[in-house]
Amino acid sequence: MTSFAGLSRFYNRSGTNICLHQLPSQLLSARGIASKLFIAGLSFYTTDQGLSEVFSQFGQVLDAKIVMDRGSGRSKGFGFVTYASEEEAEKAVSGMNGKVLNGRVIYVETSKPRQFFQGSPPIARGPPNPAGNS
């Protein structure tokens, strides 16, 4: 995610802050975000290397990563593949969506930027004070 670190905030001409998820699709495409795919339904036995090998038939794979559970170290069953171009990513979506990989049907779509809260999430401050105690 470090490659997108500089994209989190932009400013328009009036100086107003613009969040990444509000940017036009052309800018996202130019920054390479549109060439990143989300793959769901992966077998727990699929590896980063295996994912890269399967998806390399559609173009140059820059990165293939399966998301792992921190506690158990097991796959969460989904991952991401990043291509060198948007065209290669589109070919992979049409070629792999609904196909079987390691015994499981996988679902492939273009990755979307993370959605952020519009406001701040509530802060937990513990139980309220009993009546009469300040």
Structure confidence by residue, pLDDT tens digits, 102-132: 999 999 999 887 766 566 666 667 676 666 5
User: Is 63 a residue whose pLDDT tops 70?
Assistant: yes
Give residue 8's pLDDT band: very low, low, confident or very high (50, 70, 90): very low
Mean pLDDT of the region 58-81: 96
Mean pLDDT of the region 80-109: 96
Residue-level pLDDT at 34:
66
Q: What is the 3-state secondary structure (H, E, C) of the chain?
A: CHHHHHHCEEECCCCCEEEHHHCCHHHHHHCCHHHEEEEECCCCCCCHHHHHHHHHHHCCEEEEEEEECCCCCCEEEEEEEEECCHHHHHHHHHHHCCCEECCEECEEEECCCCCCCCCCCCCCCCCCCCCCCC
Mean pLDDT of the region 51-56: 97
- Residue 21: which residues within 8 A CB-CB, separation 6 or more? 113, 114, 115, 116
Which homologous superfamily is 33-110 in?
A: RRM (RNA recognition motif) domain (3.30.70.330)
**What is the phi/psi pair of residue 70, to 5°?**
-65, -40
> Would you list the domain boundaries of the chain?
33-110
Residue-level pLDDT at 12:
46
Higher pLDDT, 131 or 86: 86
Higher pLDDT, 99 or 130: 99
Q: How many percent of the chain have pLDDT more than 70? A: 60
Residue-level pLDDT at 75:
95
User: Is 56 a residue whose pLDDT tops 80?
Assistant: yes
Residue entry with tokens 């989190």: 8
